[in-house]
Structure formats: structure tokens, C-alpha cells
Amino acid sequence: MSTHHTPARSTLPVAGEDHARLTIDLSALFDNWRAMARRSGAARTAAVMKADAYGIGLEPAAKTFHQAGARDFFVATPAEGAALRTLLPDVRIYVLSGMWAGSERLFFEFDLVPVIVSEEQLVTFMAAISDGGDLPCVLHVDTGMSRLGLRVEDALALAGDVARPASFSPIMLLSHLACADDPSHPLNRQQLQRFRTAIEAFDGIDATLANSAGIFLGEDYHFTLTRPGIALYGGAAVNDVPNPMKPVVTAEARILQVREAKAGESVSYGASMVFTRDTRIAVAAVGYADGYMRSLSGSGVPLRTANIAGARGVLHGRTVPLIGRVTMDLTHFDVTDLPPGSVRAGDFIELFGRHMPIQDVARAGGTIDYELLTGLGRRYERRYEAVKK
């Protein structure tokens, strides 16, 4: 497998300066999309590309998904859609935040499909196409998330409105599952039934409901198009079951110093950890400025009252615990139990990835995989492992 580096830019480290690095396995990304496409059965399978492709980089992710077979893509904003269009001229790009006054030009110029999320946006869209502009749209129906979208009863009224302009003919209905990561939650079936009601009112229109977790709920939820996100990037979509997806991102940090501390001494801010034994500390060049969150310190963070264990890293094939508080640029790990001399300055410790599941690290920080990925800072050197031919 070949490896290539991103071009050096003023906002990114260059090769040789890497205090922290991300290795992004594009073969795993490719395989994860194919796996979700298989699970989607007869439905087409999109790829969700929000937030710079969940933090891994828009361009390499877009080209990998396209190579795998994706022809439908979802982004959060029209600016994200415009950036994606410059990379993929032959795909359909849906903008989840919809169209608002002032954004119309981007939709026409870059051939983007707005997902209409409110009555106000519907007015904006109708005004935008009133001059004969040809632009499809998707209608978002809120079936239980209480976030974006028309309420089901409002969508039904719109479908039955004889005064509805003939020019308003959405190509698809969209809704979003609130609890799909908990397959037994009763809201899943309730949302499914409400969505079916809306679809019937629009006379057999195409439909999309299933996110990553929704795909795992089964065929009833797949409809015309599925839209996986976190699962593509190696994250765990469903709670409390083994994650079947391949890890895509491996995050590592350089050890800057290995130092000794005596029993009774403490480490990092607040002296939240006082050693009960002589301890060998590896100081790693990563911190919350890099998205390695302070909450990964576990119960050493003063706002937390529960006795929560912090994160762990992997060094020379062994897991080692994070100790003390994560700081802006530095994090400390206890390497006392590794053989003396085996850990040296310049070694890299895995924070999450191939040997340390990202969902385990997220759980230690009281968060989810999504936040870890999308919060990755700009100081990492990014290395992309190309798709195997």
C-alpha cells in the first residue's frame, strides 16, 4: 500500500515537524462504504461529508467514496457543497441546512439540492425558482427529532394543498432518526410510521430516513436512499454491540520526554494525581488544542464528580493509562509497567485507531466518536494510505 502526504501549507505541519500525526486508511474508508451499501440492500447508498468529511479531509474522502461507487452526497452547508462540487462534477449533492435568503446563488452555481427544513425556507426556495430557475429540492419532515423539518401535519397539509404551486415538487422526503443507536427504543418505530404516512401523502415519492445506525435497523428503514456517516469513518453506530466497521483514522503523538517521579509527587495542573509508587512518565505532544479533550483526563477534571477512568494509549503494543490532566499541548501517560528503556523520546503513542478503538476513547471522555473526529486540530501531520488496487 502506498502512502502520500498532504502538500505543505502554512496552516499545516510539514514532514519532519510532526509532533502529532493522523494516518488515514483510505482502503478502510472504501471498504466501509461498500459494507454499508451491502447492508442497504436495494436502496442507493449516499455518503455524508459534513465537517470536512468528519475531520479526515474532504478531497481524499470524496474521491474514495466516488471510487467505491457513491453518487449521492450530503453536506451541512452550501459552502461545503460548493467545495465538494469542485471535486465531483457528476454527483448529486444535498445540503442539509437548506436554503436561506442570500444563499440562493450557491445552489444554482454549484448545482446543489437544498433540503427544505421550514416554511420560511419554502418561501425562499419558491422565490428563487419563480423566475424559471430549474432546481430540485428535498423536503425535510420532522418525525420526532424536534430539530429541523416541517411537522408531519404541516407536511400533510402541504401535500394536500390544491393551491400549492405546481413548480413545487420535491424529489424526495427526508427525516432523521433520533434513537437509532438504541435499536429497542420505541421512538424508532413511531418515527418510521410517521414517515410512511408522509410518504403516502406525497404519492410514492423517493425517501431517505436511515443514517448509519438506521441502516442497521433493517430493510424497513432503508427506503430509496440511505445516508451513512459515522460508520463510514470507522465509528460505532449502534450502542453496546461490537463495531463491525474498519478503523479509518489512527491518531498518534510524539513522546517529547520520559521522566521519573517519586512516590508522593504529583503530575500536571491541580496535582489531581499523587503517585503512590515511583512512576515513569511519558510526556506526549498532544492536548486539547489538538482535539484530545481535557475530559479524557477522567475524574481528574474538577467538574466531574463520578470516579471515571481516563483514556488509555497504546505504546509498543501495550496499553498505558493517561495520568493527570490533559493540557493545551501536552498529555502524560504512565509507562512504569513497560520494560525500562523501552520508551524513548521520539517514540509515538497511539491515541486511538487500529489498536485503541475510537469509541473506547470517546467513552472515557464522556463523549462520542463524532466529536473526537470532527474536533481534530490542524497541527497533525496527515498521512493518507491509498486504496489498494
Give 134: exposed, middle or buried? Use CB within 10 Å, 0-12, 13-18, 19+. Answer: exposed
Instruction: Measure the CA angle with vertex 333, ends 331 and 339; round to 5°.
Output: 150
The C-alpha atoms of residue 258 and residue 343 are separated, in whole angstroms, by: 7
* Residue located via cell numbers 478502510: 28
Contact between residue 243 and residue 353 where contact means Cβ atoms under 8 Å apart: no
d(CA 175, CA 191): 9
328 a known binding residue? yes
Find out whether 311 and 353 touch, Cβ atoms under 8 Å: no
CB–CB of 62/86 below 8 Å?
Answer: no
Does 172 show up as a binding residue in the annotation?
A: no
Backbone angles phi, psi at 98, to 5 degrees: 80, -165
Query: Which position among 50, 54, 380, 384 bears the catalytic label?
Result: 50
Cα-flanking dihedrals φ and ψ of residue 369, to 5°?
Answer: -55, -40
Q: Is 119 exposed, middle or buried (0-12, 13-18, 19+ CB in 10 A)?
A: exposed
Cell numbers describing residue 205: 415519492
d(CA 284, CA 332): 6
- Tell me the one-letter amino acid at 279: T
Q: Is 139 strand, coil or helix?
A: strand
Of 94, 262, 269, 389, the active-site residue reads 269
Other Cβ atoms less than 10 A from the Cβ of 52: the count is 16
Q: Is 269 a catalytic residue?
A: yes
Quote the radius of gyration of the chain (alpha carbons, Å): 24
Distance CA 225, CA 387 (A): 25
- Residue 159's identity, in one-letter code, is A
Q: Which DSSP letter does residue 388 get?
A: P
Q: Which three cell numbers stand for residue 34?
A: 461498500
What are the start-end ranges of the E strands in 117-229?
138-142, 150-151, 172-174, 206-208, 225-226
Eight-class DSSP state of 314: E
Binding-site annotation, residues for substrate: 147, 328
Binding-site annotation, residues: 147, 328
Active-site residue set: 50, 269
